[in-house]
Chain A
Amino acid sequence: EAQVTQNPRYLITVTGKKLTVTCSQNMNHEYMSWYRQDPGLGLRQIYYSMNVEVTDKGDVPEGYKVSRKEKRNFPLILESPSPNQTSLYFCASSLIPGGGLGNTEAFFGQGTRLTVV
């Protein structure tokens, strides 16, 4: 079954304690990305990756890091979490954009609800 798997689903942590949210996809997609979803602000892209070792900032990258050492995995790292990073996070994967094919449907994970106290 084609899927994007995020872990954990729920996480409560304290300010400053480093954490990693994992994301894995089994569709051999080149493009992977992370989003945060906040009430009234919608889904905002944090980072994206076009392929292995190729990452770039989205619209809200501050306070986050990512890595893409393997095609299937794209972890999100919060080196020093702060309360304003409390949010619902989604990982997604898709075929690489461009080429006029329009087949850039994003497949989403189930989400990670993070609370930083």
Chain B
Amino acid sequence: TQLLEQSPQFLSIQEGENLTVYCNSSSVFSSLQWYRQEPGEGPVLLVTVVTGGEVKKLKRLTFQFGDARKDSSLHITAAQPGDTGLYLCAGHGASGTYKYIFGTGTRLKVLA
């Protein structure tokens, strides 16, 4: 079974601080998506990374896909209260399965 482990599981920081969330697997993924989920709602896509070593920026969010396509990271610069939410990585494996696997999630709280 392909797994995506995220760390940390919980993160509470002050406004203006930087943070990094990690998404790791022992398996190769053809691509990875990052989502943010608000309470009571479905996840909403932030970004897709496809190429090993790829870096994508979305305003204050920087996403990186590992060279071997087994891991990814999300870095937030100068976090704001509006960044509060559950961050999830997800992807279809590259081994031929069409299951869509979600990471264990990182719950972020940014305090004003």
Interface status of A73 (Cβ within 8 A of chain B) = no
- For A74, what are the chain B residues with a Cβ–Cβ distance below 8 Å? none
Residues on A close to B: CB < 8 A?
4, 31, 33, 35, 42-45, 48, 50, 56, 58-59, 90, 92, 94, 97-98, 100-106, 108-111
Min CB distance A112 to B, Å, is 11
Residues on B close to A: CB < 8 A?
1, 30-31, 33, 35, 40-45, 48-50, 88, 90-92, 98-105
Residue of A nearest to B101 (CB): A45
- For B91, what are the chain A residues with a Cβ–Cβ distance below 8 Å? 104
Among candidates B92, B98, B105, residue contacting A42 with C-beta atoms closer than 8 Å: B105
Once A42-B103, A97-B92, A100-B30 are accepted as A-B contacts, the answer to whether A106 and B40 lie under 8 Å apart by CB is no
Q: Is the CB of B102 within 8 A of A43?
A: yes
- For A108, what are the chain B residues with a Cβ–Cβ distance below 8 Å? 42-44
Q: Is the CB of A110 within 8 A of B41?
A: yes
- For B42, what are the chain A residues with a Cβ–Cβ distance below 8 Å? 4, 90, 92, 108-111
Report how far A103 CA is from B50 CA in the complex, Å.
9
Once A56-B98, A97-B30, A100-B50 are accepted as A-B contacts, the answer to whether A42 and B104 lie under 8 Å apart by CB is yes
Once A97-B92, A108-B42 are accepted as A-B contacts, the answer to whether A102 and B31 lie under 8 Å apart by CB is yes
Report how far A3 CA is from B101 CA in the complex, Å.
21
Across chains A and B, which 5 residue pairs bring their CB atoms closest together, nearest first? A108-B42, A102-B50, A102-B31, A43-B102, A97-B92
Min CB distance B64 to A, Å, is 15
Q: Is the CB of A98 within 8 A of B41?
A: no
Q: Mind listing 14 A-B residue pairs with CB under 8 Å?
A: A4-B42, A31-B98, A42-B104, A43-B88, A43-B90, A43-B102, A50-B98, A59-B1, A97-B92, A97-B98, A97-B100, A98-B98, A106-B35, A108-B42
Min CB distance B85 to A, Å, is 14
Once A42-B104, A43-B43, A111-B40 are accepted as A-B contacts, the answer to whether A106 and B90 lie under 8 Å apart by CB is yes
Residue of A nearest to B44 (CB): A108
In the complex, given contacts A97-B100, A102-B48, A102-B49, what are 6 additional A-B residue pairs having Cβ atoms less than 8 angstroms apart?
A: A58-B100, A103-B48, A104-B33, A105-B33, A109-B42, A111-B42
